Amino acid sequence: MASAEDVKELRKRTGSGIMDIRQALDEAGGDPDQAVEILRVKGQAQAAKRGGKTASEGVIASYVHAGGQIGVLVEVNSETDFVARSDEFQEFAREVALHVAASAPLYISEDDIPEEDREREMRILREQAAGEGKPEDVQQRIAEGCMKKWLEDVVLLNQKHVNEEKHETKTIEELRAALSATTGENIVVRRAVRFQVGEED
């Protein structure tokens, strides 16, 4: 029996009717991907198209560095269209895009760091500290201090905005929290991508 969750998900993915989806899921033994194929074979689903589903409000902002050698695209979400269209929200999105162009963060938030990346970094920092001939507890403190520094370096929300004069050395997270307080809405820096001409993938 198809779960309500699966049906809802497939309805979003295919635009098909609920009875068709239930039947396809049954035929597919509950496998959603196979159910999509069945729906498409029967002509009951649209070809999967990218995008379109709106989960929340917000804005896409871009920043291309003079000369077009670096470009950034960011999405910032709010809860309502009203806030998304406000000047202060749009300004925040632009400032984040500009910051990403200058600072090239690797992750949006600490939660986005794959466990593997974090462990590799900690292992390297521990071994670096071990090479300095200090007692073990000191080594541990050194490694932890370096880890904190690394998180400030590579995580967007932990970074101080590059325009330190304008933003009084506030971090992106502090600017986000301030905007959230002013607007009374949850504000989310959802994703960012940065292209630099000729860089390796």
3-class SS at 200? coil
Selected from 22, 27, 31, 73, the binder of a second copy by CB under 8 A is 73
Site for a second copy in 133-162 (CB under 8 A): 150, 153
Site for a second copy in 162-201 (CB under 8 A): 191, 193-200
- Among 15-23, 66-74, 158-166, 172-180, the segment contacting a second copy (CB under 8 A): 66-74
- We find the least distance from the C-beta atom of residue 166 to a second copy, in angstroms, to be 22
Q: Determine contact, residues 30/154, Cβ cutoff 8 Å.
A: no
Cα-based distances in Å from 4 to 9, 31, 48, 158, 160 = 9, 14, 21, 39, 44
DSSP state of 70: E
122 binds a second copy (CB under 8 A): no
Selected from 79, 80, 102, 104, the binder of a second copy by CB under 8 A is 104
Selected from 1, 29, 51, 133, the binder of a second copy by CB under 8 A is 51
Say which residue the tokens 């607007």 belong to.
183
Nearest to 100 by CA among 126, 64, 68: 64
DSSP state of 161: P
72 binds a second copy (CB under 8 A): yes
Alpha helices in the chain (DSSP H): 4-14, 18-27, 32-41, 81-84, 87-103, 115-130, 136-154, 164-167, 172-183
106 binds a second copy (CB under 8 A): yes
Distance, in Å, from the CA atom of 144 to the CA atom of 131, rounded to the nearest integer, reads: 15
Is the Cβ of residue 40 or residue 160 nearer to a second copy in the bound state?
40
User: Which residues contribute to the site for a second copy (CB under 8 A)?
Assistant: 12, 37, 40-43, 47, 49-65, 68-75, 77, 84, 90, 93, 104, 106, 120, 123-124, 127-128, 131, 150, 153, 191, 193-200
